Copies of this chain bind each other. A is one copy, B any other.
Amino acid sequence: MTSAPALGSASDVGDLPTSELLTHGRTALDWIARYLDHPERVSVLSQVVPGEIRQMLPVSPPEQPEPLGDILRDFETQIVPGITHWNHPGFFGYFATSSSVPGILGELLVAALDVKAMLWRTSPAATELEQVTTDWLRQMLGLPGGWFGFLNDTASISSMLALAAAREAKPELDIRARGMAGRADLPRLRVYTSRHAHSSIDKAALALGIGLENVVHVDVDDEFRMRPDALAAAIADDSANGFLPLACVATVGTTSTTSIDPVPAIAEICRRESIWLHVDGAYGGVAAIVPEMRHVLAGVDHADSLVVNPHKWLFTPFDCSAFFTTKPHLLEQAFSLVHEYLVTPERESVVDFMNYGVQLGRRFRALKLWMVIRGFGTAGLAARIRAHCALARQFADWVHADPDWEVVAPVPFSLVCFRFAPSGIHEEVLNDLNAKILERVNATGEVFLSHTKLDDRYVLRLAVGNIRTEEKHVRRAWETLKEQSITVSP
């Protein structure tokens, strides 16, 4: 990036002139366009060693202002080498995500407005667009009318709010006011989720003071789905022990394998036992916008809450996690706290989203989501998710056809779990081999994958989800895997 003339002295006040924004904003846009058009110029997984970036940077901040041109140049030379490129079409790790042109423009405008969507008054459009876009998303997902939606930063927070609401669903516990410690009248509270649930469910339980030991990790079937019979048995056991079953978290698209818990059967149990049912569809839930995949959210209409992340598989820049509930009054009951400085004349006739969660300050996330939905259209978004699932099936077919490799879990979405498993090699050796393949594949910088463990087997994961991923990128991943498998073969 080009350098700019030095700015005024640090004794000036006010913002930098907007001419600087225009000049360097255009430079940044040009850089972004080149970056998105020529991903092969960067290594997907950063190849730096720990401390390498830090070493390049001054230990103390500059006293005097530095030209934006210098800062953008350093961004390119000192920061970008340390970036792992989530926005690269060869990124197949964790859940692959991406921002997109409409989403990037949305964030640019959000940064310029810099509003806090905490009260209706602090930007009516932020609140009302959040209502509109979450209702659009509700319709796209096929949820019934009457579901109330809002946007959080992460599914970690969304799921924590769900469990906090579950406490309020039992008002006799009076946890909001009295807390949980030092009370003889409270039983142990229990939360149920599968052995394959996301770590954020455990984190929510520990943050809320429920305790890790009170998260019951229910057994799964041979396709890694929660077993309703095991859930029912766990609840019965706990009830017999005097514990209080509080909430259940079912997952639509688990992190390790994207398995889908049987929500209809789980919902029936939760209804019978008066347990809050939260559905974690952070990754998989959005697939319901594809008409032929609508079934992945079957039964969710009987749940109490749901989280889906537009920042995961809906091409919306991080962060944007959509939380839906049929019981917003319980969220409000859990979290509303209006000090005088936040009282507004219109508060009885509007929604003030600060009342539904922990955070007072809230980003204007709806703008980018609105731009993404309009920029692609619902059919366009569905086409992209459909294409990703097809790419994953294509990859699974290649793996399946190769006798030295195996697909180790069903592929209901866009993730393939697989491993190198030539016959006659001991399981423990296979684990080492696959770990080595992963490191070597990632070291090429052409693609990036991550791993998990399934029943002690080290398993590779290829997750398709970046909007710019095409068949050639998936094919390159497969070629690279095969190449590297040869280098490690015993």
Contact = CB atoms under 8 A, between A and B. Distances in A.
Contacts of A203: 335, 337, 358, 360
Contact of A214 (B12, B115, B179): B179
Interface string A291-316: 00000000000000000000100010
Interface string A63-74: 111101011100
Interface string A353-392: 0000011110100011011011111111011100100000
A334 B202 CA distance: 12
A251 interface: no
B199 A189 contact: no
A176 B206 contact: yes
Given A113-B86, A129-B57, A255-B339, A20 B101 contact: yes
A213 interface: yes
Interface in A80-123: 80-87, 93-94, 97-116, 120-123
A486 interface: no
A373 B125 contact: no
A394 interface: no
A461 B179 contact: no
Interface residues of A, number: 185
Contacts of A166: none
Given A121-B84, A178-B213, A51 B16 contact: no
Contacts of A48: 124-125
Interface string A436-463: 0001000000000011110000000100
Nearest to A125: B82
A132 B183 CA distance: 45
A423 interface: no
Interface stretch (A151-159, A218-226, A262-270, A396-404): A151-159
A151 to B, nearest CB: 13
B210 A207 contact: no
Given A21-B33, A61-B139, A211 B175 contact: yes
Interface stretch (A23-31, A272-280, A406-414, A477-485): A23-31
Interface stretch (A229-237, A322-330, A343-351): A343-351
Contacts of A204: 358
Given A129-B53, A139-B61, A13 B383 contact: yes
A371 B71 contact: yes
A377 B11 CA distance: 10
Nearest to A386: B13
B124 A99 contact: no
A199 B317 CA distance: 30
B177 A114 contact: no
A54 B376 contact: no
A125 B210 contact: no
A181 B199 contact: no
Contact of A62 (B85, B188, B374): B374
A106 to B, nearest CB: 8
Nearest to A54: B128
A180 B181 contact: yes
Contact of A11 (B111, B349, B383): B383
Interface string A118-148: 0011111110110110011101100000000
A233 B395 CA distance: 68
A181 B176 contact: no
21 contacts: A10-B383, A13-B383, A14-B468, A16-B375, A18-B37, A36-B112, A57-B132, A62-B373, A65-B377, A82-B124, A82-B126, A83-B115, A84-B115, A108-B108, A156-B361, A160-B358, A164-B207, A179-B213, A179-B214, A181-B214, A182-B186
Given A68-B102, A181-B211, 11 more contacts: A11-B380, A16-B375, A32-B109, A48-B125, A53-B125, A62-B374, A62-B378, A72-B105, A103-B111, A200-B358, A209-B210
